[in-house]
Structure 1
Amino acid sequence: MSSREDETLARAAVAALTGQLELTPKPGLPDPRDLGARATRRDLCSLRWSAKALTPGLAAMVAAARRIGGPTPELRTELGAIGRSTEHSVTLAGGGHRGALWVLGFLVAAAALDPGAKGSEVAATAKRIAAHPDRRAPRRPSRGSSMSAKYGAAGARGEARAGFPHVRRALDALAASRSAGASEPNARLDALLTVMSTLQDTELLYTAGPHGLRHVQAGARGVLEAGGTATEAGHAALAAFDDDLHTRAWSPRGTGGLLAGALFVDSLPVVVSSPVRVAA
């Protein structure tokens, strides 16, 4: 795999993130209606711009995986260092996407280790990378780690160590909606709501507490149980759910990054090259 192919894989990940941003209506999340920084407090134009700042870091993660050749402790440590440097670059570009960076970072590294893999295979390789501790990670607590400790939520770290179950659920939802004849935007919205209906979103726990989390999960399930976003009843339920989160100013931010991860994996294989043997 060449440096150009490294960047191709990174650009595919950023394209998946941008595709998630462009999807509308996304309850509580930035979308094309947010040119005026609606309830999400994030202007979509700035989020599009800062998403591009992830490209060099993601390409570096691909190159590291290709060079090291397996889901080793060394690779986990290097991904952590690259990720923290990329977080700084994204902050300078306007901020946002912290969760998406780590989801996509593990997944691009996994894809680089096993070119041609799709779906659960990529998630399984990412799980093997995430199983190792990041020994150079700062020891200061984050919102996510605090909520994980307080409520027992898996958080981003637990999601990765479990092999991204919500990415896999989103992929299943995409396939099911497409098979049922839904348009691509509706299939993606159904996948987003599938994630939202079960994810223990630590950012949402921080801002809205356990009651707010259960309220959001129930709202997402309500849209799906009404038939999904492609149906008249589901569309009406989605509009009501969107209005509700807008009024409450609640944002289930973790779901957006996981949907971006699913869209990236769904786009694979992006790079065709000789496989890298994944070490046990």
Structure 2
Amino acid sequence: MNAHVQPHLTQHCVLLAAFAVDALIAEVNLTPKPALVDQRGSGAHDDLTLALMQRSAHSLQPMFFKMAQAAFQYRTCSLALREAIGEIGRAGEAVMLQTTGGVNTHRGAIWALGLMVTAAALESLTRKSFSAIELCELAGKIAQFEDRFIPQQALISHGQQVQKTLGISGAKFQAQQGFPAIIHFGLPTLYKSRLAQGNETTARVDALLAMMTTLNDTCVLYRAGATGLKRMQQGAQRVLDVGGYSTVAGQHTFNVLEQDLLGLRASPGGVADLLAVTLFIDRVEQFYFKNK
């Protein structure tokens, strides 16, 4: 791999890495989120705090920079690029675990957001502007390559255990399909709620809820099984059905959903990862639209 990247592209790597970390920080600080870490507390988690999540997010900035750099070096969607960012991602995960004392704060986000940073870097080589759909499709194509260098004895995540036991498709499949939860639910709801309410917080909460209605969140499945997943999906839909989080009825229904998830100790961490990706895409779209 050619280690040289032109100076102006290096600055672009810095920008994309900053956007990715900003998205992670925005996600964890979004308040309220049902049973997730936010500014009120640790949700359904015993081992996570807001400060820990923030430190973890910042620790990943060099990793995102190197992924964007790899895209500029390889310049095409390929197995070689997939394996390069896989190696970078594993090193980034090690840094994350060292930062958090062994707590898995952002493993899913490393996968999903890493793919999106790489795709955004590739797209910027040939386009002055591009759509969310194009970005997600390219990220999906990168994800479809099978990394031959994944350690055979790699630690199996809770999500992977659920997938193996229940035959449920997880984060890998979501990425390989071009992130349909984001394209069909997260981003449309973010845009619609933002336009209707003019309130960024409620727009982001509604986007989170919209993805909760459809995603087979393996974090919830691991903690609460298929029954817990159904209650999450139906509860989120009820919030949206009464007008979303901006309404009094929506806030009341949201609180009911949160108490239910807290009782189950079920935290929708997979949806939280996708919200971070959604916020990254939104930021990238705005940047390229303004600078095309």
TM-score, length basis structure 2: 0.89
Output the CA distance in 2 between the equivalents of 1:118 and 1:104.
16
Partner of 1:158: 173
Output the CA distance in 1 between the equivalents of 2:224 and 2:43.
18
The structural deviation recorded for 1:247 is 2.8
Segments of 5+ residues of structure 2 without an aligned counterpart are 1-7
* 1:64 to 2:64 alignment: no
Output the CA distance in 2 between the equivalents of 1:113 and 1:23.
29
Output the CA distance in 1 between the equivalents of 2:131 and 2:206.
20
> Which of 201, 208, 220 is residue 204 of structure 1 equivalent to?
220
Comparing both chains, which one has the higher relative contact order based on Cα–Cα distances under 8 Å and sequence gaps of 6 or more? 1
Per the alignment, in what secondary structure is the counterpart of residue 67 of structure 2? helix
Output the CA distance in 2 between the equivalents of 1:215 and 1:162.
25
Percentage identity across paired residues of the two chains: 38
Partner of 1:278: none
> Which of 105, 109, 119 is residue 114 of structure 2 equivalent to?
105
Output the CA distance in 2 between the equivalents of 1:150 and 1:38.
26
The structural deviation recorded for 1:59 is 0.5
Within a 5 Å distance, the mapping from 1:98-247 to structure 2 comes to 98-115=107-124, 116-140=129-153, 141-168=156-183, 169-247=185-263
Per the alignment, in what secondary structure is the counterpart of residue 39 of structure 2? coil
- Report the AA paired with residue 133 of structure 2: S
Is 1:182–1:230's contact at 8 Å kept on the other side of the alignment?
A: no
Partner of 1:262: 278
Is 1:5–1:271's contact at 8 Å kept on the other side of the alignment?
A: no
The structural deviation recorded for 1:162 is 0.3
Superposition misfits of 4+ residues, deviation over 6 angstroms = none
Per the alignment, in what secondary structure is the counterpart of residue 93 of structure 1? helix
Is 1:27–1:241's contact at 8 Å kept on the other side of the alignment?
A: yes
* 1:10 to 2:17 alignment: yes
TM-score, length basis structure 1: 0.92
Is 1:8–1:271's contact at 8 Å kept on the other side of the alignment?
A: no
The structural deviation recorded for 1:271 is 6.7
Provide the alpha-carbon RMSD of the alignment.
1.8
Is 1:126–1:163's contact at 8 Å kept on the other side of the alignment?
A: yes
Residue-by-residue CA offset, 1:120-157 (whole Å, 9 max, x unaligned): 11001101111110111123443322322332322011
